[in-house]
Amino acid sequence: MSVSVWQLSAQEKKVSQWERFEVVLHGSAEGNPFSDVSLYADFWQQEGDTVSVQGFYDGDGRYIIRFMPAMPGVWHYATKSNLPSLAGKKGNLKCVAAPTGNHGPVRVKDTHNFMYADGMVYYPLGTTAYAWIHMPQSVQEKTLLSLEKAGFNKLRMCVFPKNYGLCKEEPEIYPFLVAKYSAGKPVFDFTRFNPAFFRHLEKRIGDLKNLGIEADLILFHPYDKGRWGFDSMPRETNVAYVKYLVARLSSFSNVWWSLANEYDYVASKTEKDWKALIRTVVASDPYRHLCSIHGSTATYFPYWMEELTHASIQDEAPVEDFGRASIVRNIYRKPVVFDEVCYEGNLSSRWGRLSGPEMLHRIWQGLIAGTYVTHGECYQWNEGSMDTIFWAKGGEWRGESWKRIVFTRSLLNSLPQPLQLADVSRDHRTATAGDNYYLIYFGRQMQDEWLFSLPAKNASCQKVKSGTKYKVEIIDTWNMTVTEYPRTFEVGKTIDYRHYDVNYGKVRLPLLPYLMLRVTALDE
Amino acid sequence: MSVSVWQLSAQEKKVSQWERFEVVLHGSAEGNPFSDVSLYADFWQQEGDTVSVQGFYDGDGRYIIRFMPAMPGVWHYATKSNLPSLAGKKGNLKCVAAPTGNHGPVRVKDTHNFMYADGMVYYPLGTTAYAWIHMPQSVQEKTLLSLEKAGFNKLRMCVFPKNYGLCKEEPEIYPFLVAKYSAGKPVFDFTRFNPAFFRHLEKRIGDLKNLGIEADLILFHPYDKGRWGFDSMPRETNVAYVKYLVARLSSFSNVWWSLANEYDYVASKTEKDWKALIRTVVASDPYRHLCSIHGSTATYFPYWMEELTHASIQDEAPVEDFGRASIVRNIYRKPVVFDEVCYEGNLSSRWGRLSGPEMLHRIWQGLIAGTYVTHGECYQWNEGSMDTIFWAKGGEWRGESWKRIVFTRSLLNSLPQPLQLADVSRDHRTATAGDNYYLIYFGRQMQDEWLFSLPAKNASCQKVKSGTKYKVEIIDTWNMTVTEYPRTFEVGKTIDYRHYDVNYGKVRLPLLPYLMLRVTALDE
């Protein structure tokens, strides 16, 4: 996808919508080009409507400007730089319609949900592999195969390596150049990035893109503890790092910015520091990719900050039981993603020992309330930090809930519109997906029958009309079956805020947990 | 308390801290003094540290400036006005220490709680009588007796009368002057206030103050429906009304500003309008009384707006069950008051038919999560709108939950510090009130024994220490009994995030709902 236009200046320069166009320039490698050289380009279709894009130094005298056109048509560009050899370069490119399967970057849809730039609804169903790009290449390849097999469409992953009880691997390559080794440990030159590291990161983000996976990229985290010092770099280094990262990566349509994992555990930074870094990211990103930040359990950042596109929350309470997640949705007026709700696993730590069914249950608790939940698994079979636990390292799945993701996504993808509670704060089980389309989730509750009834209220959609006939499908979310119920139902008039079947008909249910009903109007 | 200093100019002018000092001036009554005359006074103890206080026109050529001194000592003042006869008046007053029982206005304490200005913790336990000041005087007097008997310390009440299905009374007196009557209905001159109305309102706020009750005063509401037009006045009238109200009332230490009830149902105003009105209130109030706004069910105003001191929420979901209210607390970083969570009553509407125990249960659900809940009751014995329902009109109690308020407050007042969950998002039943002081609430769950255990985590307080001995009291929140358990417990080491009694001792419980345990360290 990389098009070096100066080599190809005589040819037609084409790029697909939401793909990457590169201007590669050559200049001096003297001094410190990372800090000494400023470079950017303006891109425009019509004068006055300009996208300004920062370039970056890629090493070996190579300077790159990357552009992701959002609109088909002819774009013009011109570079500016304090290095005369890089300044004043002009050119054109032709942006052609996106190929099938490229829907563009994910945006916020209708306050609480997500869609791709082409308008297709995006239902995030992500997982977690924080340090996967720092593992041996063979593990990384396995991770990609695992992600493809499971069908996740978002991955929480860190730029920096992880030094944590269960993840101690030394990376092969670092984001900063190693100035020297001291007692076998790298000492970094924080003024010089390591382009090879970023090329590797880009390759992996590209690999995810090919799998339809959004890279929810975590820029900082506290799991360093003095080992490399990436959690406690000077402020100007943090800013330079963020700008360099954004200049390199913002042309990837599938990148999201997650300023931190467990931001409040990063001892060196205050909330004010985080806000400044968030503003730096947003100001540097010409495409306004999704941007949020993640705290420790029940630590809610002020997600109302306008630069944040959504709330990326660690808290299990909202998705453990009914009646909770919708409160968070009602408060924020932004999409809510519970990005950490404990993980499926067998650890002794309480955050890493959910059963598979409980992990999936939490995902559905979020979904029926109009929010989203991220998966993770933490199975440890061997003692010690070298075991491969997907949540930290990627590798191979060992749990059970990942096997339900394709099925879960298929249920979501067949919705006419995103879910929300039909009768908010009154009926915590009935989600509406529009006119005459309901999912009713029973969670851990088992019962052998359900008296057919729908709330009269239906969010902002069409209310139930007396006389409407419905069919019912029994969905076993865990066993992944959809069974159409052999009879249909016709609702009568409103009785105490609800509509019952005119004959008070019931749905007989198998005595199983995690059942859901799909209730839809009969085609007539 | 009113001291007319110009009549008393030769005497010593004394006022107690947080009480009211009045400067009464006489001037022209020509034109429209409500809109034509500007009047304010600066009050100061030391030059440069000035409190500016707006005056107001009280009718009959009488102009008043009211001041509530926050600090004992000598205060000086000087008036300014566009009316020469009101300008340049100077004087002194001596503020003496507050009398016992006057703790000053309520402020925010430690992010999530409240205290009086003198530092005493204030635990809001309020009720609701929206239109009580518009009822016949005999009903108003009964209301005061009822409030005193029940022991509430906050009252939600409206300035404007209410035109609602269950409350249709025509007031005796209106906030605006009646220009004429048209077909028997008053037509208001929205440019002229009715001082007699406001004197009545002030009398009632003063009556509440004498009972130790905060007046949570609702400035606008939607329950008008074209009858008087107070919900759809022109913007400049709204602003003038707010300023007049604040000028008259801000010297009452027990006033809170609630911009609206169910703000989103007021069709004539947008969220932007509300924000502007909130800013007007706050800019007009020299004392910065508590200020919030209340929406319809599950409609959350952006309570993070810095002018709002706390979140005043209508939503029942957060206090119906465990694990919910604390989420709201964690998000806002302000005190959370669930000011409407449905009411005890016998109405057919689902918002007005809680049982007494359920009303009290919701109050405790809020309290153990470190939030606050407001009571209300809606019993209708006779058909039609002229029945006296406390929630709308005040009068006499008919329910059951009000009888538990004194007991509930006594439990709160004996806490060493306000409640919060000890192990947030993990243990939804155990609230801590500091070091070695816990309330463990079981809600609707009945059980005949409880295995003694405390979470190792204790919010930001001292963690449980192995070897500590505790006593347990069984509190029946509904039947209002406190029974000391006949044995004590000693905790062992941490086992999976909890501390058990060294002999795995259990507390035998009566099979009753709404029980709570008070677990405190033994004095040794």
Q: How many CB pairs under 8 A join A and B?
A: 78
Q: How far apart are CA A363 and CA A319, in angstroms?
A: 7
Distance from CA of B324 to the nearest CA of A (A): 6
Average pLDDT over every residue of B353-378: 98
Residues of B with CB below 8 A from A332's CB? 331
Integer angstrom CA distances of residue A473 from A438, A481, A517, B62, B331: 11, 10, 6, 74, 37
As given in the structure block, the two tokens for residue A89 are 């370069």
pLDDT at A524: 65
pLDDT at B39 over 60: yes
Q: How far apart are CA B454 and CA B465, in angstroms?
A: 10
pLDDT at A101: 86
Give the model confidence (pLDDT) of B135-152 as tens digits. Answer: 999 999 999 999 999 999
Q: List the Cα angle A250/A253/A259 in 5-degree steps.
A: 50
pLDDT at A384: 73
Q: How far apart are CA B377 and CA A34, in angstroms?
A: 68
Smallest Cβ–Cβ distance between B304 and the set A304, A318, A328 belongs to A304
Please report, as a single letter, which amino acid is at residue A272: K
As given in the structure block, the two tokens for residue B438 are 């816990």
Tell me the pLDDT band of B129, cut-offs 50, 70 and 90. Answer: very high
Smallest Cβ–Cβ distance between B317 and the set A302, A316, A425 belongs to A425
Here the ipTM equals 0.95
With CA atoms as reference, the chain B residue closest to A347 would be: B496
Contact between A304 and B300 using a beta-carbon 8 Å cutoff: no
Residues of B with CB below 8 A from A428's CB? 317
Q: How far apart are CA A241 and CA A229, in angstroms?
A: 13
Taking any CB pair shorter than 8 Å as contact, residues of chain A touching chain B are: 297-300, 302, 304, 315-318, 320-321, 323-324, 326-328, 330-333, 348, 350, 424-426, 428, 496-497
pLDDT at A206: 98
Percent of chain B surpassing pLDDT 90 = 94
Q: How far apart are CA B436 and CA B458, in angstroms?
A: 9
pLDDT at A381: 86
Integer angstrom CA distances of residue A395 from A133, A142, A343, A444, B398: 11, 5, 16, 31, 65
Contact between A297 and B324 using a beta-carbon 8 Å cutoff: no
Contact between A327 and B326 using a beta-carbon 8 Å cutoff: no
pLDDT at B388: 84
Q: How far apart are CA B146 and CA B133, in angstroms?
A: 14
Query: What's the CA dihedral at B60, B62, B63, B68 to 10 degrees?
Result: -120
- Of residues A410 and B166, more confidently modeled: A410
Give the model confidence (pLDDT) of A249-267 as tens digits. Answer: 999 999 999 999 999 999 9
pLDDT at B290 over 60: yes
Is the distance from CB of B101 to CB of B116 less than 8 angstroms? no
**Phi, psi (deg, nearest 5) at residue A489:** -135, 145
Residues of A with CB below 8 A from B316's CB? 425-426
pLDDT at B380: 93
Distance from CA of A194 to the nearest CA of B (A): 39
* Long-range residue pairs from A109-113, CB within 8 A, at least 24 positions apart, any chain: A109/A418, A110/A418, A111/A333, A111/A334, A111/A335, A112/A329, A112/A333, A112/A334, A112/A335, A112/A336, A112/A370, A112/A371, A112/A418, A112/A420, A113/A335, A113/A370, A113/A418
Is the distance from CB of B519 to CB of B454 less than 8 angstroms? yes
Residue A77: closest CA among A27, A22, A117, A28: A22
Tell me the pLDDT band of B437, cut-offs 50, 70 and 90. Answer: very high
Q: How far apart are CA A146 and CA A168, in angstroms?
A: 22
**DSSP codes joined into one string, A331-351:** HHSS-EEEEES--EE--SSGG
Contact between B324 and A323 using a beta-carbon 8 Å cutoff: yes
Q: How far apart are CA B338 and CA B300, in angstroms?
A: 11
Contact between B315 and A497 using a beta-carbon 8 Å cutoff: no
Q: How far apart are CA B357 and CA B193, in angstroms?
A: 44
Q: How far apart are CA A292 and CA A277, in angstroms?
A: 11
Residue A312: closest CA among A334, A286, A331: A334
With CA atoms as reference, the chain A residue closest to B302 would be: A331
Average pLDDT over every residue of B451-471: 96
Tell me the pLDDT band of B383, cut-offs 50, 70 and 90. Answer: confident
Smallest Cβ–Cβ distance between A424 and the set B298, B318, B348 belongs to B298
Distance from CA of B312 to the nearest CA of A (A): 13
Residues of B with CB below 8 A from A333's CB? 302
pLDDT at B10 over 60: no
Alpha helices per DSSP H over B211-301:
235-249, 271-284
Taking any CB pair shorter than 8 Å as contact, residues of chain B touching chain A are: 297-300, 302, 304, 315-318, 320-321, 323-324, 326-328, 330-333, 348, 350, 424-426, 428, 496-497
Distance from CA of B195 to the nearest CA of A (A): 40
pLDDT at A43: 98
Tell me the pLDDT band of B386, cut-offs 50, 70 and 90. Answer: confident
Three-class SS of residue A269? coil
Q: List the Cα angle B175/B178/B184 in 5-degree steps.
A: 120
Alpha helices per DSSP H over A254-387:
271-284, 317-320, 325-332, 356-368
pTM of the model: 0.96
CB proximity list for A195: less than 8 A, separation 6 or greater: A57, A58, A59
Residues of A with CB below 8 A from B319's CB? none
Smallest Cβ–Cβ distance between B297 and the set A317, A323, A425 belongs to A425
Is the distance from CB of A57 to CB of A34 less than 8 angstroms? yes
Interface test with A, best of B327, B368, B420 (most A CBs within 10 A): B327
Q: How far apart are CA A389 and CA A139, in angstroms?
A: 11
Residues of B with CB below 8 A from A320's CB? 323
pLDDT at B6: 41
pLDDT at B385 over 80: no
Residue B66: closest CA among B29, B83, B37, B41: B41
pLDDT at B508 over 90: yes
* Exposed/middle/buried for residue A92 (C-beta within 10 Å: 0-12, 13-18, 19+): exposed
Distance from CA of B108 to the nearest CA of A (A): 19
Q: Which residues of chain A have pLDDT under 70?
A: 1-12, 524
